[in-house]
């Protein structure tokens, strides 16, 4: 099974709200990723976790806060977002970083009003 | 950092036609993947192909790592093949670096 699940599928939030995105995989992968994709653009990396430790933070604003509570779960906590943060948020996982195939979840389509 | 270029940016085909999508990259890579993004945004893994040739049904891919390019072949295209095709390579920190994609439209 090569499934990565993400919840919710859609999220609408105001600029003062706090919400969280959730990602889960049960493939025993030890690397997990958050990507952001704006309309008509390719996905861009936000964060990488390797063995539950934050490995890369691509200069993402602090209103995005990642969390990796265990090797199967990855959360993205959202607070005080801006309308320009509206995008498709994609989670991915791979066996380890650098040399293995990455598998993506279906994404959460976020709208900030 | 590594640059990834895809061509053509847009492609319109009649159902049943064949096509070739190209991906050029600027440096040697350990990992190259092809994805199909469907209209709902799901990125579907097509091939993991750092080098060599692979086939899966009507799709096949070839990567010539020494010349820094990869090709995706779609034969006997169907309307369900429509969407955006991305090529992506792994950067030095493990993240995937995507090309801008090829938008394929298959007309019935």
Name the residue of chain B whose CA is nearest to A40's CA: B100
Q: Confidence class of residue B26 from pLDDT cuts 50, 70 and 90?
A: very high
Task: Show Cβ contacts of residue A62 under 8 Å, excluding neighbours closer than 6 positions.
Answer: none
At residue B35, the 3 state secondary structure works out as: strand
Q: Is A86 on the interface with B (CB under 8 A)?
A: no
- Per residue in A47-66, pLDDT (tens digit) is 999 999 998 777 899 999 99
B25 neighbourhood in chain A, CB within 8 Å:
none
Distances in Å between the Cα of B82 and the Cα atoms of B8, B11, B77, B99, B107 are 14, 10, 9, 18, 9
**Residue A18 tokens, joined:** 């706090």
Predicted confidence at residue A99, as pLDDT, reads: 73
| Region of A68 on the Ramachandran plot (φ > 0 left; ψ -120 to 50 alpha; else beta) | beta
Convert the pLDDT of each residue in B54-68 to its tens digit.
Answer: 999 999 999 999 999
- Residue B95's pLDDT is 83
Task: Please tell me if residue A48 touches chain B, with a CB cutoff of 8 Å.
Answer: yes
Nearest Cα residue in chain B from A58: B95
pLDDT of residue A1: 61
Say which DSSP state A104 is in: E
| Statement: residue B52 has pLDDT above 70 | yes
B94·A106 Cβ contact <8 A: no
pLDDT at residue A2 greater than cutoff 70: no
**Model pLDDT for residues B74-88, shown as the tens digit of each residue:** 999 999 999 999 999
* Contact between A27 and A2 (Cβ < 8 Å): yes
Helix (H) and strand (E) counts in chain A? 0, 11
Query: For the residues B15-28, what does the mean pLDDT come to?
Result: 96
Residue B30 has pLDDT above 90, yes or no: no
Q: What is the torsional sign of CA A81, A87, A92, A97? A: negative
Alpha carbon A60 to chain centroid, angstroms:
12
In the prediction, which pLDDT does B29 show? 84
List, as one string, the DSSP characters of A36-63.
Answer: EE-TTS--EEEEEEETTEEEEE-S--TT
Mean pLDDT of B9-13: 97
CB B30 within 8 Å of CB A98 = yes
* Tens-digit pLDDT profile for residues A16-38: 999 999 999 999 999 999 999 99
Structure token pair of residue B59: 């799709």
């Amino acid at each position: 099974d090569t499934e990565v699940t993400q919840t919710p599928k859609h999220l609408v939030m105001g600029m003062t709200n706090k919400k969280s995105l959730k990602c889960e995989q049960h493939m025993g992968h030890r690397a997990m990723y958050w990507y952001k994709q704006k309309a008509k653009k390719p996905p861009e990396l936000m964060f990488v976790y390797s063995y539950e430790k934050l490995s890369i933070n691509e200069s993402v604003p602090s209103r995005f806060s990642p969390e990796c509570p265990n090797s199967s779960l990855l959360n993205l906590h959202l607070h005080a977002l801006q309308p320009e943060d509206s995008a498709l948020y994609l989670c991915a996982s791979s066996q380890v970083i650098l040399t293995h195939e990455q598998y993506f979840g279906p994404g959460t389509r976020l709208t900030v009003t | 950092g590594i640059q990834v270029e895809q061509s053509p940016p847009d492609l319109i085909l009649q159902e049943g036609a064949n096509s070739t999508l190209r991906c050029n990259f600027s440096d040697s890579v350990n990992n190259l993947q092809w994805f199909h993004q469907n209209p709902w945004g799901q990125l579907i893994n097509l091939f993991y192909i750092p080098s060599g040739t692979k086939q899966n049904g009507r799709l096949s891919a070839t990567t010539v790592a020494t010349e820094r390019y990869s090709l995706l072949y779609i034969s006997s295209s169907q309307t369900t093949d429509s969407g955006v095709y991305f090529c992506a390579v792994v950067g030095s920190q493990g993240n995937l670096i995507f090309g801008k994609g090829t938008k394929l439209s298959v007309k019935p």
